[in-house]
Chains A and B, each alone.
Chain A
């Protein structure tokens, strides 16, 4: 079978570096992954093509790239699942990270954000002589998050990171959850307090991108939502976070849907002028990208039903 690949290239060593596409044609086998095809290019056709890969088995997290516009581990993506003979497959570097060369991106800010959440277990109390006792369920549950291989696919597609580079982002927040939910960690409350600040758990717009592209089913958004609940439960009040939820509830009550713009304004506090100004660039950027929702609520048809749900939920509390 002959395959055609359109590959994103970037050579930082030219006098005025610009990204461009290069097309390659090559023979492929039916068991090929996208990575197999790229390796074949690099080994047999064009050694100047640079990319990262190591394990070939979706465990090292090296090979995140955009395949037809969406971040994927190319080793785990069978060629015939994204391409059919006659078509051209497009491969580009991941988004929301600077490109170093060709398909290789710079993970510096990715890891800085992981560092930001104090990514190590902090038990309190005396260390036991043997292991810490913990239920198997709790460990199996955490394994769902430890499954994260730090590949960056979620970060590549996160819609908030696209407009606000300060957002801690899905990967680091999922990592934070791994400690918050670890029965052996003694700092859950402090962690939640920190995560409650701007750029933390309340900045996610629940766009689901991270959940959809994650190759390891880590479900970053789901973890973020659980941490919101935990923060509320822990009574981490009078912060951007809880104001956010009040605004959220009000918004849903008013219109039956979430008004993201009002939400942002209300979360920071309408009277908090510096805070509002700090957010302004994000709003402006979002507007420029056509992502800013209107300030006036659009009502949705089933508003009454939503109202019922809200009432029920409030009644239950």
Chain B
């Protein structure tokens, strides 16, 4: 058994930023992660991070307004205000740690334009912003010798008398299971893209944190809000960053027309993501696509410019498709990208379970609402990673000695042994494919009652069959076969909560676009959906709604 004051699960930007803060506050801190920190999916963020720097004439109110409008008024406005007001300071902190942000002529931080915003307030490092930030935070972790449980996989949270007191995890290198007790746990385990196919997310984004917290009793809020990115590579869904459009790329259909003229004449390609994704889907559905795709066209920018400003994009196009973006357009389509929904937290990262905090993509502080603006997620991870560490540091002062029971460890060991002992049954990969297909179909860019019910029924059916899932690998050392089977268990829970959230919301708002109920309904649905796990409830869940917090910005119609 290991013991710490604060245990951070996840070593992406949210987890590492929390760790840096926690150590700075002198708290006994450990980070636990299923992949080496720099392999975390935060490294994939290309475009940048938003902040309104007041010393250069930008105003946080503008950033707040764009965020709230982008969210289709589902974001809690008090949370948004916290995020955008702290953005400037947190950005400068990162620069001081060593992030090599792009500069302007005077040597100050430079910006680029991003979708859904009227000011260019996105700070960036070429097309490697997330990676550049993640590596620098990891430098700080090395500098401070923070204890990292690297390539450890969490199987359960420990909850005793309604209070979170640590986690049970497997050291993947040895296959041994251990209890890691902590006075507070910060869940920073990232997104759940793999519940869909295609997705821009890494293969490790399986929603473990969402499922772990859900199982422990937390609310998963607004899970129906799944963002489809407008520009993902035809085929496997690798992302082509919004930075392309920020730098001036066009979207064209089979006829060569810049079709955004018909959907968002003012913002054109830089309208909000949900708007652009829907426009593309309509073009494709109405027969103006090419093999189920539309085209992203950068030719007018020139190869030299593309290589300098969008190097990684060019790398992807050349290496994965053999296309020089300066010479020809590339086929793209909307693909699952981000989950706005997540573990409900306060602005200090606290969940409904004492001792359990959450930050980053798995959390829902409600800053993205029904649609996240590009480059606001990195900001979310940094601001609320830090805030949750500060809150956890205060909380642990109030907690006495931790317990010593091994019961969660024992039951996890038993559950895993059962999977290992099972003779040949269903392959996890086959079930995962079936799950991802039905979710993409049922909870896609467009959805309706029947499609959502279909997905929900499928999830129940697969859940029923999960006890037949078996693995080939019966060994202990790096048994990735077993890890995938355990992740699938998490994915089924996440999928269930998404379907239930979607079925609750009887309107269209942001990413939740119902063809059978196409209008936004502010009268009845300026509300968050909450789904709890509840063995006694219908379908194993309990649902409720709560009001959206509106402060200064009254909902108006959203046009770009």
A interface list, Cβ under 8 A from B: 11-13, 31, 33, 36, 42-44, 46-48, 50-62, 76, 78, 100-102, 104, 107, 114-115, 119-121, 123, 127, 130-136, 139-140, 142-143, 146-147, 149-150, 182, 184
Contacts and interface: CB of A to CB of B under 8 A. Distances in A.
21 contacts: A47-B481, A48-B475, A48-B481, A50-B473, A54-B39, A55-B202, A56-B203, A59-B128, A59-B131, A60-B41, A60-B43, A61-B38, A61-B39, A114-B142, A115-B142, A131-B95, A131-B101, A133-B107, A136-B110, A139-B101, A143-B126
Contact of B96 (A127, A146, A149): A127
Given A56-B202, A120-B143, 16 more contacts: A33-B320, A50-B478, A50-B480, A55-B202, A57-B316, A57-B320, A59-B312, A60-B38, A119-B143, A131-B92, A131-B96, A131-B108, A136-B105, A136-B107, A146-B135, A182-B98
B103 interface: yes
Contacts of B100: 139, 142-143, 146, 182
A33 B109 CA distance: 38
A216 B312 CA distance: 9
A200 B181 CA distance: 42
A100 B433 CA distance: 29
A222 to B, nearest CB: 17
A89 B390 CA distance: 52
B535 interface: no
Nearest to A53: B203
Contacts, number: 160
A172 B500 CA distance: 49
Contacts of B40: 60
A139 B103 contact: yes
Interface string B464-475: 000000011101
B44 A60 contact: yes
Contact of B475 (A13, A149, A182): A13
B429 A43 contact: yes
A136 B103 contact: yes
A13 B125 CA distance: 44
A143 B125 contact: yes
Contact of A55 (B43, B125, B308, B429): B43
Contacts of B312: 59
Closest 9 CB pairs of A and B: A47-B472, A121-B98, A43-B429, A133-B107, A47-B481, A136-B103, A120-B139, A48-B473, A54-B202
A94 to B, nearest CB: 15
B319 interface: yes
B35 interface: yes
A76 B319 contact: yes
Contacts of A130: 55, 92, 108
Contacts of A114: 142
A130 B475 CA distance: 53
Contacts of A104: 478
Nearest to B109: A131
A130 B103 CA distance: 13
B167 interface: no
Interface stretch (B231-239, B275-283, B491-499): B231-239
B319 A139 contact: no
A55 to B, nearest CB: 5
A241 B235 CA distance: 51
Contact of B203 (A13, A54, A119): A54
B4 interface: no
Contacts of A42: 480-481
B554 interface: no
A60 B132 contact: no
A50 B484 CA distance: 11
A200 to B, nearest CB: 19
A71 B238 CA distance: 23
Contact of A44 (B103, B105, B429, B481): B429
B142 to A, nearest CB: 6
B108 A133 contact: yes
A146 B131 contact: yes
A149 B478 contact: no
Given A13-B475, A115-B142, A119-B139, A60 B126 contact: no
Contacts of A52: 35, 39
A115 to B, nearest CB: 6
B173 to A, nearest CB: 7
Contact of A139 (B102, B131, B315, B480): B102
B476 interface: yes
B487 to A, nearest CB: 12
Nearest to B205: A54
Interface string B73-100: 0000000000000000000100111101
B258 interface: no
Nearest to A139: B100
Contact of A59 (B43, B108, B476): B43
Residue among B36, B98, B105, B427 with most chain A CB within 10 A = B98
B202 A149 contact: no
A135 B107 contact: yes
B557 interface: no
Contacts of B472: 46-48
